Amino acid sequence: MEIDKLAIPNVSNDRPIVIAGPCSAESREQVLKTAEELHRYGVKIFRAGIWKPRTKPGGFEGMGSVALPWLKEVKEKFGMAVATEVATRDHVFEAVKAGIDILWIGARTAANPFAMQEIADSLRGTNIPVLVKNPVNPDLELWCGAIERLVNAGITNVGVIHRGFSTYDKKLYRNLPIWHIPIELRRRYPNITMFCDPSHIGGKRELVAPICQQAMELKFDGLMIESHCNPDEALSDAAQQITPSVLDFTIKMLVVRDNIQTTENISVLRQQIDEVDDQLLALLAKRGRISREIGLYKKEHKMPVLQTGRYHEILEERVRKGEQLDLDREFILAIMKSIHEESVRIQLSL
Ligand code: PEP
Ligand code: MN
C-alpha cells in the first residue's frame, strides 16, 4: 500500500513541520492569544482539542462545537492551518463544515476499529489531511489497521503521530516511547509523514526538548507540541504544556541532521557493541544448551520443571551481583526473568 507524503496547503515539508497549540481550546481569548504568539514565532499549524476524550468522566471534556468559530478566527486572522481531534462521524461533519484544515485521530479512538471505520466512512470523498495517533496500547498492527481503514476509504493524505504507549508503571515517561514501533511503521510505509508528540510521551515540560531531539535523530518529519499561553492554568494536561516562547526556543535549539554525521566518530564504539552483542548471543545459546541438559535430567527423574526456590535464588542472586556492577535493578530483573522464562519454555518442550 502506497502512502505519499502528507500535503498541507501552504505548509512546506521542511523538517521539522511544527504543529503547536493548546491541549484544549478553553476560551476564545485563550485560543486567540496562544495562536497570536505562536504565529509571531513562525508556527504555521495550530492545534487545539475541542472534543476531549478524557480517561475518566469529570475531567475537562472540551468546549465542543462552540470552539469551532474560534479556530476559524485563528485561520482568518493569522493565516495558520488549524487542526483538531475527531472521534465520531458527527465530529468529522462539524469539523469539515467549519473549514478545519487538518484532522487528527486520538490514541483512544485509533485503538477502536469500529470508531476508525466510522470516521473513515464519513471522510469518503474528501482529501483533508488526517493524522493518526498510535493506539494507546503498543500494538503496531492496530495502528496499521487504523491507517488502512482510511486508505481503503480513499483517504490517502494520511500521516501519523507517535504519542507513546500507556503502561501501568509510570516512571520517567507518561507514555512509553517504545521507539522501535514507529521505526517499524516507517519501514512498512517508507514515505509516510511521521510526527512525534513529545508532550504526551513525556507528560512533563522538561522532557519536551529532549524527546523532540530524539525524534529528529530518528528522522521524524514533524512535531506536534502542546503549547498554551498560560500553561499552569490549563484545564487539561497542564504539566506538559509549554509557553509559545519556550516552544520557539526548543525548536531553535534542535539539531536537525539529514544524514547522521556522527556515525564516523562512533564507528569504533559501535564495533565494540557489535562484538559484545555477539558474545551475549553466544552465551545465551550456551545457557540454552545447558538448560536443555537439565531439562532432560528432570524429565528422566520425574522432577517438575518449575522450582520456585531456584527461581527466587536465581533472581535475587543475579540482581545483587548486577547491582554490584552498577547495573540497574529493574533492568537485571527484567532480563533475568526473560532468560528464565526461556529456560522454562525449553524444558517444557522436551
Ligand atoms: C491530545 O492530543 O490532546 C490528546 C488527547 O492526545 P492522545 O490522543 O494522544 O491522548
Ligand atoms: Mn493533551
pLDDT tens digits, one per residue of 226-254: 999 999 999 999 999 999 999 999 999 99
Which grid cell is 303?
A: 522432577
Pocket test residue of 91, 112, 133 for ligand 1, highest count of atoms within 8 A of CB: 133
**pLDDT category of residue 260 using cuts at 50, 70 and 90:** low
pLDDT (0 to 100) of residue 134:
98
Give distance in angstroms: CA of 122 to centre of ligand 2: 25
Pocket test residue of 45, 108, 160, 163 for ligand 1, highest count of atoms within 8 A of CB: 163
User: Can 17-253 and 263-348 be said to share one CATH topology?
Assistant: no
**pLDDT category of residue 261 using cuts at 50, 70 and 90:** low
Q: Report which ligand 1 atom has the smallest distance to the Cα of 23.
A: 3
Q: How many CB atoms lie within 10 A of CB 225?
A: 29
Pocket test residue of 161, 195, 197, 211 for ligand 1, highest count of atoms within 8 A of CB: 197
Give distance in angstroms: CA of 288 to centre of ligand 2: 46
Q: Report which ligand 1 atom has the smallest distance to the Cα of 161.
A: 9
| 263-348 belongs to CATH 1.20.59.10 | yes
Which grid cell is 190?
A: 517508507
**pLDDT category of residue 322 using cuts at 50, 70 and 90:** very high
The average confidence (pLDDT) of the chain is 94
- Closest ligand relative to 53 C-alpha: 1
Residue closest by Cα to atom 1 of ligand 1: 23
Q: What is the mean pLDDT of residues 87-112?
A: 98
pTM of the complete model: 0.79
- Give residue-wise pLDDT tens across range 177-202: 999 999 999 999 999 999 999 999 99
Give distance in angstroms: CA of 112 to centre of ligand 1: 15
Q: Annotate 279-342 with three-state secondary structure.
A: HHHHHHHHHHHHHHHHHHHHHHCCCCCCCHHHHHHHHHHHHHHHHHCCCCHHHHHHHHHHHHHH
| Structural element, H or E, at residue 37 | helix 28-40
Give distance in angstroms: CA of 156 to centre of ligand 1: 22
CATH H superfamily, domain 17-253 = Aldolase class I (3.20.20.70)
Give distance in angstroms: CA of 21 to centre of ligand 1: 12
Burial of 146 (0-12, 13-18, 19+ CB in 10 A): buried
Q: Report which ligand 1 atom has the smallest distance to the Cα of 53.
A: 5
Residue closest by Cα to atom 10 of ligand 1: 107
Q: What is the mean pLDDT of residues 327-333?
A: 92
Ligand 1-lining residues (CB < 6 angstroms): 23, 49, 106-107, 133, 163, 200
Q: What is the mean pLDDT of residues 61-74?
A: 97
pLDDT (0 to 100) of residue 262:
58
Q: So where are the chain's domains?
A: 17-253, 263-348
Phi, psi of 316 (to 5 degrees): -65, -45
Give distance in angstroms: CA of 330 to centre of ligand 1: 29
Per-residue burial over 121-133, b if 16 or more Cβ lie within 10 Å, else e, is ebbeeeeebbbbb
Give distance in angstroms: CA of 237 to centre of ligand 2: 5
Q: Which residues does 252 contact at the CB level (< 8 Å), separation at least 6? A: none
